Amino acid sequence: MSSSLPLYNSKMSTQVLDKQECLVQISDDNDAEEEIMESGPFEPQGNVRIATGLVKKSPKDDNATVIRFPKVPKSRSNFISLQSWEGFVVEKKDKTFVARVSDLTHDNPEEEAEIPLKEVSEGDMGLLEQGAVFYWHIGYLHEASGQIKRHSSIIFRRFPMWRKEDIEKARLEAQKMMELFVRE
């Protein structure tokens, strides 16, 4: 972050001026309670407080006008899929996992595959258990640098954490239906 950032007041409204540069015009608005949040710590530097951190309430100050969030344009890679499957884990072994996979690209029958664990990203490893569903794509990865390479991608499906009230609601619903069946 630039050290020349001006101070800002928490009671301000924001308007994104320029998405490319991510300049944010902050104007006085005494009725607005703003919480500007960004990852990283909040550091004072003399007269300038740099909003690099999670800020709930900043100190009141009248001078702040524009905060620049330097955005280094990051070209992203893109991936063109040649072949894809949907699969589920049958068994996890030491260095591989066994899965049943269905072809999503062509009309082929379901197959069994044994896939090396190193094909799975670290972030997804915790999801790899019996019954877990994943998508497997093989295709070309066009990197931001311009390089094109063949790439295999395995991504496990994520389902949101059930809330206790959702589980209880489902349990009650199931109980009602069970009572209906028993009666009949």
Partner 1 sequence: MDISQRKLQEHSIVLIGDFNPAIFQPLWLASVELISKSDAEAAEIDIISKKAAIFTVGEIRIEVLQTRFQAQTIREDHFETLRDLVVGIFGLLNFTPITQIGINIAMHFLLDSEDKWHEVGHTLAPKKIWEGVLNNPGMTDLSMIEDKRRDGYKGRIMVMVQPSVRYNPGLYFFINDHFEAEGNRDIITILEKNWKISIDRSREIISKLLTGLL
Taking the complex as a whole, how short is the minimal distance between the CB of residue 176 and partner 1, in angstroms? 20
Taking the complex as a whole, how short is the minimal distance between the CB of residue 116 and partner 1, in angstroms? 18
Please tell me the distance from the alpha carbon of residue 49 to that of residue 8, in angstroms, as a whole number: 8
* Amino acid letter, residue 164: K
76 binds partner 1 (CB under 8 A): yes
Please tell me the distance from the alpha carbon of residue 117 to that of residue 158, in angstroms, as a whole number: 18
CB contact at 8 A, 76 and 57: no
111-140: contacts with partner 1 (CB under 8 A): 122-124, 126, 135, 137, 139
Q: Of residues 57, 60, 158, 171, which one binds partner 1 by CB under 8 A? A: 158
Which of residues 172 and 178 has its CB atom nearest to partner 1 in the complex? Answer: 172
CB contact at 8 A, 64 and 25: no
With vertex at residue 123, the alpha carbon angle to CA 118 and CA 128, rounded to the nearest 5 degrees, is 65
Beta bridge partners of 137: 84, 153
CB contact at 8 A, 144 and 76: yes
Taking the complex as a whole, how short is the minimal distance between the CB of residue 148 and partner 1, in angstroms? 11
Interface segment toward partner 1; rule CB under 8 A; list 90-98, 112-120, 152-160, 172-180: 152-160
143 binds partner 1 (CB under 8 A): no
| Positions that interact with partner 1 (CB under 8 A) | 13-16, 19, 22, 24, 32, 34-39, 69, 71, 74, 76-81, 84, 122-124, 126, 135, 137, 139, 142, 153, 155, 157-161, 163
